Every structure is written in C-alpha cells, then in structure tokens.
Structure 1
C-alpha cells in the first residue's frame, strides 16, 4: 500500500484510521473521510459443543467474562479510533465527516454488496445477517 501511494499507483483507498496511520497515508493523501466503515475489532469464537458441555456455573462465568470483554473491547476500539484520527490530523490530514450524499451513496453500495453476498450465502447467510442486525 505504501509503495502504491508513493509511486502514484493509487490516489485514494478506503480503510480504517489505524491502517492510514500505520502505512503513513498522511504522507501521500491529505483527506480522511470518517465513514465509520472500519472500526478495528477482534472476535473470539467458541466451539458450541464444548461450551454446551460446561456446567451451568462455568457457562455463566464464561458468559460474564465474554460480556465484560465485549464492553471493554468496544471502549478500547472507540478510544483507538479517536487516537488514530488525532494522529492523522497531527500529521497533516484533514478529517472530514462524510457529506449526506457520500453517506447515502455508501449505504447504497453496502446494500448492493449485502444483497449479492446473501444470494451466494443462502439461508445460513440470512440467519447470520438477521442475528447481526439484532
């Protein structure tokens, strides 16, 4: 990415503030549109069969630890997102809130991408999307 910017192969791209900072995007691109499209985060997956085999007190402890970790994770993600935007601004990038038109256009493209994915993913994909929207 850094080489592509330095050689003029790309003039813009879409990513998170962390990628923008880590790749020194501010050396080549001067505008950052804070679309909130990528908030860096991680996930932990648990084997359902193993989880179901736990006794009730252990399940409750795991679920509490998971809820605490989720809350902490979202808080840290928000803090890091703000920090990266601040660092980009300190290095000369202008941070912009997307215009209503850009926001609407991005939502439209996202809807198309989601519909395409759902066609390929089928019923399992629809179940995932329904759970995500809750």
Structure 2
C-alpha cells in the first residue's frame, strides 16, 4: 500500500501530464497508439468484470477489503488507459463527458424514463 493517498485536488490535466511524463521517461509513447491503448483498456475492463463474476447484486456492494483494493486498482488501470488514449487523440474528456450528458438528458427525459432502464429506441 502507498505511503499516502494522492490529494483529491489533483486535476485531470495534472494526472494526464504525469502519465505522459511516465510514458516519455520510459520511451513508451511509441507503443501508446489509440489502437494499442484501446485494446489495453478493454482487457482491463474484462479484468474488472472478473472480480464481480458470480456475485449477487448484494455481494457486489460488499466486497472484502482485499477484493475492494484489487477492484480499485483495476479501475485505476482503466482510467489511466482512457486518459492516455484521450491525450493521444487530443480529446478533452471533461468536455466530451459534458456533451454526452447533455445528449443523454435529451434522449432520456426524466419524466419519460423515471425508474425504467430500456434503451432510448425502445421509448419511441
């Protein structure tokens, strides 16, 4: 376990810069194509899912400390690859997420979909 947690005041830009420097210091930028990063991202997503395989809904909320930590590290891997891929493609993740939320707010108006989890096309 690390000596102290990273302050929550770190910004996405600061994290992006740290990850970029990490890769550059090791001459790994050459391997960090959007294709390779997206493939690594999906592999990490599969590793995250493995931790929840065969658990009930209730069990998925009540992970023992060691599994909770392992899940946190898998999520960190996913986050890292996503940030790196966005950096390589010059995508502002915050702006893209804000746009996507606006799209979803229009596609799924609360008064129409409240408590119902169907796909948008199924509401037509």
TM-score of the alignment, normalized to the shorter chain, above 0.5: no
Q: Which has the higher strand share?
A: 1
TM-score range, shorter chain: 0.3 to 0.5
In our comparison, the structure showing a higher alpha carbon Rg is 1
